A and B are shown apart, each in its own frame.
Chain A
Amino acid sequence: MEYKFIGKEFKRVDALSKLTGRARFLADIILPHMYYGIFLRASIAHGEILDIETEDAKNVEGVKAIVLGRDFPHNYGHLIKDRPIFAFDKVRYYGEAIGGVIAKTEEAARVAADKVKVSYKPLPIITHPKESLNNKEVIIREVSPTPDMVYRPVKGTNIFHYDVVKRGDVEKGFEEADIIVESEFNIAPINHVQIEPHGAIALWDEDGSLTVWSSTQAPFTVRYFLSDIFELPLNKVRVIAYYVGGGFGGKSDVGIEPMVALLAKSVPGHPVKVILSREEVFHGSFLRGNFWGRVKTGVKKDGKIVSEKVEFAMGGGGSGEFGGTVVDGAFKSAVGPYEIENVHAVGYGVYTNLPPTGAFRGYGHPETHWMIERQRDIIARKLGIDPVVLRKKNILKPGSINIIGQKIEEHNGNLEKCLDLVVEELDWPNNIGHIDKKNKKAYGKGFALLQKSPVMPTNAASSAILKLNDDGTVNLTVGTQEIGQGIDTALTQIAAEALGISPEKIKLVPYRDTDLYPYEWQTVASRGVWSVGNAIIMAADEVKHKMRKVAKEIFSVDEEDIVVEDGLVFPQGEKEKAITYKDLAIGYTLPEGSGIGGPIVGAGYFIPEGLVYPDPETGQGNSAAEWTFGAQGVEIEVDLITGKVKILKAVTAIDAGTIINPENARGQVVGAMAMALSIAQREAIVISKEGKIRNDSLTDYKISTIRDVPSEYKVFFVETEEETGPFGARSLAEHGMVAMAPALANALYNALGVEFFKLPITFEDIALAIDEKKIV
C-alpha cells in the first residue's frame, strides 16, 4: 500500500535534545531536600545471614537511616513470589542487596555502608544450570507451589519453572530417521551493559502516597508492583520516567524501585536517590542467565527432519520471578522456525547463585537458536547436503504448523525469501570457506534463520490519547517508553498517517508519568509499534468521529457523508467548503456566534485478541500473537596468529511487515547485529569459584568498541503486511540479535573446520583450536 508518512524519511523526534544535552535522564534529576541511598551488598554468594552490625555506620555524620531486609521480610512477585526487596533470611548471590543506608550525601552513605558488618553461615554454591538441574543437595530456594502460582516449581529441586512441548511421538520419529544427530550446547551469562546505569528516586508524602522516578522501561509495571508490595491503591503510586539510556530488557523487570521506595519510607518528605555504580549494574540488576541445552534430531537422508528432542535449562539466579517467562519465550522457539512432526521439548528455569535472570533482547530466542541453527548445519554436513537445501526442506511456510500448533498464514511473513536474500548476498555456496596459509588468514561464510513472537501475557494492553490543540496541531500521549528504539518517532508517523496530517504537526509528549499518560503494559518484546500503533489508529478514529459529529451540524448532512482527510473536513464531493482541524479543535463557532462541539480528544486501546495459555502438558495453543521471520549471515576473516575474527560483512533479511521508518528500522537491526556479535565473540560474566563476579566493570567486561564491529552491514526488509499490525507493521527491534551467534559459528566451521558448541567463542578459544588442529 502507498502511505503518506509511513515508510518515509522522518528524522527522530528526540535527536536534537539528545544531541544538545537537553534530553533528560533519571540521573539528571535533583530534587529539593533530596537524600542519597547506597545498598548494602552481600560479600558471599550463598549463605544464611546471621548478624548485621550497624552501630559504626549509624554514627557516620550525615546518615539518616539504615534499612535492612529483615525489617521488611517480604517476597513479592506476580508469577511465583520469590523476590525479596532486600534479602532477609539468606543471600543467594554475591552482591545481593541486604539493605541500604540513607544519608545527606552519597559519599556519607558510601562511607557508612562500608562500616556495616555482616556475618554469614556460608552454604555451598551452584552457578551452572545443568549442575543446578541435577542437584538435590543444595537447594537455593524452597518454594512450595500455591494454587494461584503461574510458574511450576518442582519440590525438592532447584527448578522454579518448566515448559513442555509435545507433538507426535519423538521415539517413533527417531526409529524412522536415517540418521540421528546429538549435540550439547552452552552459553555464558551476560549483562546488558546499557550505557546508562539503573537509577531510581522515591518520595513518600506525609499522606502515604508514593512517587517514584525511575530509569524503567515499564513505568506501569513498576507502579503495579509498588502498589502490591506497599498495599497502596494505584492512584497513590505515581511513576515518572524520562528517556532510558538503553534498555535491552534490562530495565523492564522491576528491580531497584521497591528497594529505593523501602529506603525512602523511613524518611517521608525527602526524596531518596540511588544510582547504581557500574559495578552494581553487574551484580545488582539482571543478567541474561547462563544456558545449557541438548538437542537430538532424527533426519531422513533427503534432509527431512522427522523428530527432534530438545532439553534445556536456564540459570535463573537467586529468584525466578522474571526469568521463568524467558523460558516461556524460549520454548516457543525450541526447534526454531521449522515444521517438525515429532517434537519433545522441555525447558527448565533453575535457581543458581547468580544475580537474577531477567529480560534480555531476544528473550530466550538467541539461546534456542544458538542450539538449533548450529544443529541444522551439523546435520547438513553429516548428510552431505547444502544447509540451504536442508533448511528449505523443513522451514515454516504458509500452511505449516509450528511447534505450538499454530498454522502459519501468508501474512505471518516470508521466511524463505529472507533466506534467499541472505544467501544471495553471501554468494552462497561459492567460496564458503578456505585457509590462506601464506597470509595466515582463514575465511568463512555462515548463515542462520530466526523467528520470534512478542513474549508477553495474553492480555498485554496498550493505549493512546490524541488531543487537538487550538491551532490544529496535536499532542499525543502514550505509556510506552522511548528507550532508544525510536518508538516516539514511529508512533508520531503512525499518528500522522492515521490523522492525515504531517508528522511535524504532532508532538508526542516526551517522558512518561503514570498519573498523566494512558496505560501501557511494558516497553518490551518489540511490540510497541504493533500494539501502541493500533491504539493510536483507534484514537485517531475517535478524533475523526468527533469531528464528523460536529461537521454534520455545520454542513447539515449525514455523518457518513462527512469526509475527514488531509487535515480537512468537508461534505462528500464538496471539498471547496472544507474547514480545517483547526476550526474544530476546541469547538466550532457558528456564524451567529454560538459554539458547538468542544475540545477534541481521542482515546484508543489495543489488546491482542484470541490469545490463550498454552496447554500445560503439550505446550499447544494460540499463545503467540504474531511472528517475525528472518535470516542472518556473516562473512568473516580469521587471523590465524591472534585467533581474532574480523566480521567483513553482517547481513540480515527480515520480514517485519510494513516498515514505518526505514532509517530507524535499519538502526535497530544493525544495532542488534552488533550487540549479538559482541556477545558471541567476547561477552561472559566471569565467576570465581566463590561465586563472585570477577569482571564487574567495563575494564574487564568488554563489549565491542568501534574497532570491533563488522566492516559492513547489509539489511533487507521483506514487507509482507501484517494483518494485525498498524498499517501492516510487526515486531522488529530484537530480531537482529536472534541468529547472529549461530551464523558466526557456522562461518567459523566453514573457515577452520572446527565445531564450536559454547558461547562466547573468544579469540583465545579460536587460537587454541587453530593450534590443536595445527592449522598454521
Chain B
Amino acid sequence: MKKIIKLRVNGEDYEILVEPYWTLLKVLRDVLGFTGPKEGCGIGECGACTVYIDDKPVKSCLVLGVEVNGANITTIEGLSQNKKISGIQKAFIDEGAVQCGFCTPGMVMAINALYTNVSDPGEDDIKEALKGHLCRCTGYETIVKAAKRAKEYYKR
C-alpha cells in the first residue's frame, strides 16, 4: 500500500506517494528526478548511491523511502548551491579525478562528509572514507589527490 511521506531534499520540501518497497535511491531518482546518485550494485558494495540522511552519509540503495519519512536528504545535486560548486568538486576538476563519472557522485559525497567530520584528514582517513566506493577507471590515484587537494578549499 502506497504511503505519503515528506522529505526535504537539497533544501526543498516534497510530499510524495511511495510504495513501501521503493528504496530511497529509487524515490530520489525515479520519483523526484535526482538522478545524481547512481545504482551500481543495489547492495551497498559500490557506493555510487551515497546521499546524506540528516547530514550522515548512507548508501541509499539500502534504505527504504518510507523509513526516512520527515528526513532531510542531501544528494550530489545539493552540493553545488547558488551556482557554486563545493571544494571537493573543484578539487576533482583540478586533479583530473573524473573519468566515466558513474562513481563520481558517491565519491564526492563521501569525501565532503569526511571534511565535515575531520578538519584535516590524512591519507588513511581518506582511504577509510572511500573503502566502500568502487571505481574501475582511475586506479583511485587522482581521487586520493583530489581528496587531499580539497583541503585548500575547505579551510577557507
Contacts and interface: CB of A to CB of B under 8 A. Distances in A.
Decide if A and B touch, CB cutoff 8 A.
Answer: yes
Interface of A: 11-12, 14-25, 27-28, 30, 107, 192-197, 243-248, 275, 277-278, 483-486, 663-664, 666-667, 670-671, 673-675, 697-699, 703-707, 709-710, 713
A246 B48 CA distance: 13
Given A697-B41, A698-B43, A21 B96 contact: no
A245 B139 contact: no
A706 B45 contact: no
B131 A246 contact: no
B104 interface: yes
Contact of B76 (A21, A27, A246): A21
A700 B43 CA distance: 12
Given A19-B92, A278-B43, A484-B99, 18 more contacts: A12-B96, A14-B101, A15-B93, A15-B96, A16-B93, A18-B104, A19-B105, A20-B76, A25-B101, A192-B136, A196-B40, A246-B136, A277-B42, A664-B96, A667-B142, A705-B130, A706-B135, A709-B140
A14 B98 contact: yes
Interface in B16-75: 19, 21, 29-30, 34-43, 45-46, 48, 75
Given A25-B102, A196-B102, A667-B99, A278 B140 contact: no
Contacts of B144: 706
A663 to B, nearest CB: 4
Given A14-B101, A667-B99, A675 B89 contact: no
B100 A244 contact: yes
B89 A706 contact: no
Contact of B101 (A197, A243, A697, A710): A243
Contacts of A277: 42
B38 A25 contact: yes
23 contacts: A19-B76, A19-B92, A19-B104, A20-B80, A25-B102, A27-B35, A27-B39, A30-B30, A193-B136, A196-B38, A244-B100, A246-B100, A278-B41, A483-B100, A484-B100, A484-B101, A484-B137, A663-B96, A671-B139, A673-B139, A706-B130, A706-B131, A707-B131
A248 B100 CA distance: 11
Nearest to A705: B131
B30, B36, B101, B131 interface centre (most CB from chain A within 10 Å) = B101
Interface string B107-139: 010000000000000000001001111111111
Contact of B134 (A195, A197, A484, A486): A195
B13 interface: no
B46 A12 contact: no
A561 B132 CA distance: 62
Contacts of B36: 20-22
Contacts of A664: 96
A20, A275, A486 interface centre (most CB from chain B within 10 Å) = A20
B142 A706 contact: no
A693 B130 CA distance: 28
Contacts of B19: 107
B150 interface: no
B98 A18 contact: yes
B143 interface: yes
B137 A246 contact: yes
A671 B138 contact: yes
A706 B40 contact: no
Contact of B89 (A14, A19, A710): A19
Contacts of A193: 134, 136
A28 B40 CA distance: 13
A30, A243, A706 interface centre (most CB from chain B within 10 Å) = A706
A379 B131 CA distance: 40
Contacts of A244: 100
A16 B85 contact: yes
A278 B40 CA distance: 7
Given A14-B98, A28-B29, A195 B40 contact: yes
A11, A244, A484, A666 interface centre (most CB from chain B within 10 Å) = A484
A489 to B, nearest CB: 10
A675 B143 contact: no
A707 B139 CA distance: 10
A674 B139 contact: yes
Given A19-B89, A20-B85, A27-B38, A195 B102 contact: yes
B134 A19 contact: no
A173 B118 CA distance: 66
A14 B93 CA distance: 10
B103 interface: yes
- The 7 A-B pairs with the shortest beta carbon distances in the complex, nearest first, are A21-B36, A674-B139, A484-B100, A245-B102, A18-B101, A698-B45, A28-B35
Contacts of A11: 93, 96
Contacts of A667: 96, 99, 137-138, 142
Contacts of A16: 85, 89, 93
Interface residues of B, number: 52
Nearest to B98: A15
A11, A14, A193, A705 interface centre (most CB from chain B within 10 Å) = A705
B77 interface: yes
Contact of A194 (B85, B92, B136, B139): B136
B12 interface: no
A16 B92 CA distance: 9
B80 to A, nearest CB: 5
Contacts of A17: 101
Contact of A248 (B42, B43, B136): B136
Contacts of B46: 195, 698
A15, A16, A699 interface centre (most CB from chain B within 10 Å) = A15
A34 to B, nearest CB: 10
Nearest to B79: A20
A775 to B, nearest CB: 29
B141 interface: yes
A28 B33 CA distance: 8
A195 B141 contact: no
Contact of A21 (B77, B132, B137): B77
Contacts of A248: 136
Given A15-B93, A18-B101, A19-B104, A699 B43 contact: yes
B98 A19 contact: yes
B21 A107 contact: yes
Interface string B75-97: 11101100001000100110010
Contacts of A670: 138-139, 141-142
Contacts of B76: 19-21
Contacts of A19: 76, 85, 89, 92-93, 98, 101, 104-105, 108
Contacts of B130: 705-706
A483, A698, A699 interface centre (most CB from chain B within 10 Å) = A698
A671 B96 contact: no
Contacts of A278: 40-43
A706 B136 contact: no
A19, A25, A484, A707 interface centre (most CB from chain B within 10 Å) = A19
Contacts of B79: 20
Contacts of B35: 21, 24-25, 27-28
A709 B77 CA distance: 30
Contact of B136 (A25, A195, A275, A486): A195
A16 B142 CA distance: 16
A737 to B, nearest CB: 11
B99 A485 contact: yes
A354 B131 CA distance: 31
A632 to B, nearest CB: 13
A62 to B, nearest CB: 12
Nearest to A482: B100
Nearest to B86: A19
Nearest to A243: B101
A769 to B, nearest CB: 27
Nearest to A21: B36
A277 B100 CA distance: 19
A480 to B, nearest CB: 15
Contact of B135 (A14, A195, A673): A195
Contacts of A710: 139
